[in-house]
Copies of this chain bind each other. A is one copy, B any other.
Amino acid sequence: MKLSEAEWQIMNALWRKNPATAREIMDSLNGDVRWAYTTVKTMLTRLAAKKAVAETKRGNTSFYTPLVDQRNARRNALQNVVDRVLDGAVAPLMSFLIEDRKLSDRERKELIRMLRDADRKGESDGRDTQ
């Protein structure tokens, strides 16, 4: 499942509120996105065509629901970025997280904790993906 940037906007709105009508989605789009109602409808129709969302009618109004799992979709997108953009390396992802200071103290500490856990696990089964 490959989504365009505009489609991600819609999906993110839908994941936030589900199910939702086209208008609700339009209203909950992120700040810098200002689309005509019919633009939103077009995107939804396209997403329905590629089975990324389901469309259910009640009265003359359609309600939309995501059919793809958010976590999964994101993982695929990230993997794609690693492959295509980062040329397969995850190191740039780490520097992005750390050097570009996208993390709050809380996030940083949480990440350290998660890593320690993974570290313990990694040692026990001795895996080394690199």
Structural contact, B129 and A100, CB atoms closer than 8 A:
no
For this chain, the copies found in one complex come to 2
B105 and A116 contacting across the interface, CB-CB below 8 Å: no
Interface residues of A in 87-130 (CB under 8 A from B): 87-88, 90-112, 114-116, 118-119, 122-123, 127-130
Q: Could you give 21 example pairs across A and B, Cβ below 8 Å?
A: A8-B85, A16-B87, A30-B87, A74-B85, A75-B100, A78-B93, A78-B96, A79-B100, A90-B97, A91-B107, A94-B114, A95-B114, A97-B97, A99-B118, A101-B118, A103-B130, A105-B119, A106-B128, A108-B119, A112-B119, A115-B115
Binding site for B on A (CB under 8 A): 5, 8-9, 12, 15-16, 30, 71, 74-75, 77-79, 81-82, 84-88, 90-112, 114-116, 118-119, 122-123, 127-130
Q: Which 10 A-B pairs have the closest CB atoms?
A: A104-B130, A12-B87, A78-B96, A90-B102, A104-B129, A77-B85, A105-B128, A104-B128, A98-B114, A8-B84
